[in-house]
Amino acid sequence: MPRIYMKLKVILFNIVVITIALALVEVVMRKLDLPSFDACDMNNDYATADPVLGFAPVPGSEVGGFRLNEQGLRGPALPAEKAPGNFRILYIGDSTCWGLSIKLKDTFSAITTNLISEDNPNLKVEYLLGAFPGYSSYQSKIMLKRLLPMKPDLVVFYVGAHNDHTRARYFKDAYIPLRTARLHASWHQIRLLRALEVFRDKMYRKFLRKLKSKDARARVPIREFHENVTEMVKSVAEHGAQAIILIPPYTGYRLKRHPTIPEYQKSLETISREFNVTSIKLQNVFVSQDDNSVYYSDFYHFRELGHRLTANEIHRVVAEEMILELSGT
């Protein structure tokens, strides 16, 4: 009995010592504001944390040298209620759709809208640019859900060009709500636990994720990408709007770095056929052009020519396949 009592005393003593040591470490970490990095914090210079999107545009902020409107979008701020007789186009996508490094008037969204307006002088054509740099199909799905109440007549999708198949920073985009929820969890306020989380994430990023397939390492694996786009197309149909799916082009340089690109393009083609949605394979349009004339040096963001070629194709499809709806005849 005395031996058991002594063992219990030693165990209790060790627990007390370890607890005091951990408490001291916690106090020191708080004084030094460590860890300085929080794996769950999505804030950056031009966006704010969003519990679902991860990061969201800040109304009135400057992004890429361009000022966002009061809705947090690039381009014209439209009233929530669409005026009777107006034709509203919603463009959904990533930084290419948003027009990174391109003046607003030279983006394919603005050019397309102007071309349709010229064809239909008696019709008021307006557009919303529901795109943002860094967004994958996961964020596009959320943006679409938030903007569909503004009753677009046509939704143009530009997704799957780069961000979806890019390697995840620490986790898949679908895990964003869970990760951001941790910021408000009581345990997350303990600096030691937060440090362990950062360490675990870094170990995963540097070593463990290399054991997974390229698809499993993507921000949005191909199966989830297919589900995201399918859900978006269904949502558009349920709201009585038409849709056009732009199938992003790619260069040999991008394909070498991201060999899963064709899987995302095939997914878009499959969805287009399955739901009878018009699609435009931009690869066929860009193939006759010099890569340096249509892309910037990263070979996926469009230069002015790339935007103009894309706008011409959207305009052609609208003129040939949707003119009766536009004219109201």
Summarize pLDDT for 232-290 with one digit per residue, the tens: 999 999 999 999 999 999 999 999 999 999 999 999 999 999 999 999 999 999 999 99
Together in a domain, 5 and 97: no
If asked whether residues 267 and 162 sit together in one domain, one would say: yes
Name the residue with higher pLDDT: 184 or 327. 184
Task: For residue range 104-143, list pLDDT tens digits in order.
Answer: 999 999 999 999 999 999 899 999 999 999 999 999 999 9
* Residue 324 pLDDT grade (very low, low, confident, very high; cuts 50, 70, 90): very low
Confidence of residue 37 (pLDDT cuts 50, 70, 90): low
Handedness of CA 289, 293, 299, 301 (dihedral sign): negative
Q: Is residue 197 included in any domain, yes or no?
A: no
Residue 194 lies inside a defined structural domain of this protein: no
Residues 146 and 70 in one domain: yes
Judge whether 42 lies within some domain.
Answer: no
Range of the domain at 219: 65-169+214-327
Q: Does residue 144 sit in the same domain as residue 251?
A: yes
Residue 178 resides in a domain: no
How many Cβ atoms from other residues are within 10 Å of residue 78's Cβ?
20
Q: State the average pLDDT over residues 174-203.
A: 82
DSSP bridge pairs for 278: 244
Cis preceding-peptide flag for 79 (omega within 30 of 0): no
| Domain co-membership, 27 together with 72 | no
Instruction: Establish if 97 belongs to a structural domain.
Output: yes
Do residues 98 and 74 touch, judged by C-beta distance below 8 A?
yes
In degrees rounded to 5, what are phi and psi of residue 131? -130, 165
How many domains is the chain built from? 2
Looking up residue 70, the CATH number of its domain turns out to be 3.40.50.1110
Task: Look at residue 95 and tell me if it is in a domain.
Answer: yes
Q: Please tell me whether residue 278 adopts helix, strand or coil conformation.
A: strand
* Contacts for 278 with CB less than 8 Å, ≥ 6 apart: 242, 243, 244, 245, 272, 317, 321
Average pLDDT, the chain: 89
Residue 39's pLDDT is: 62
With a pLDDT cut of 70, the percent of the chain lying above it is 93
pTM of the model: 0.86
**Do 247 and 318 belong to one domain?**
yes
The residue among 255 and 1 whose pLDDT is bigger is 255
- Residue 154 shares a structural domain with residue 272: yes
The candidate with the shortest Cα–Cα distance to 53, out of 151, 144, 114, is: 144
- Residue 118 is assigned to a structural domain of this protein: yes
Do 276 and 148 lie in one domain? The reply is yes
239 shares a domain with 105? yes
Q: What share of the chain is helix, strand, coil (3-state, %, to 5)?
A: 50, 15, 35
Query: Is residue 2 located within the same domain as residue 149?
Result: no
Residues 158 and 272 in one domain: yes
Structural domain includes residue 189: no
pLDDT for 328 equals 42
Angle, vertex CA 161, rays to CA 159 and CA 166, nearest 5: 110
Give percent above pLDDT 90 in the chain: 60
Q: Are residues 69 and 113 in the same domain?
A: yes
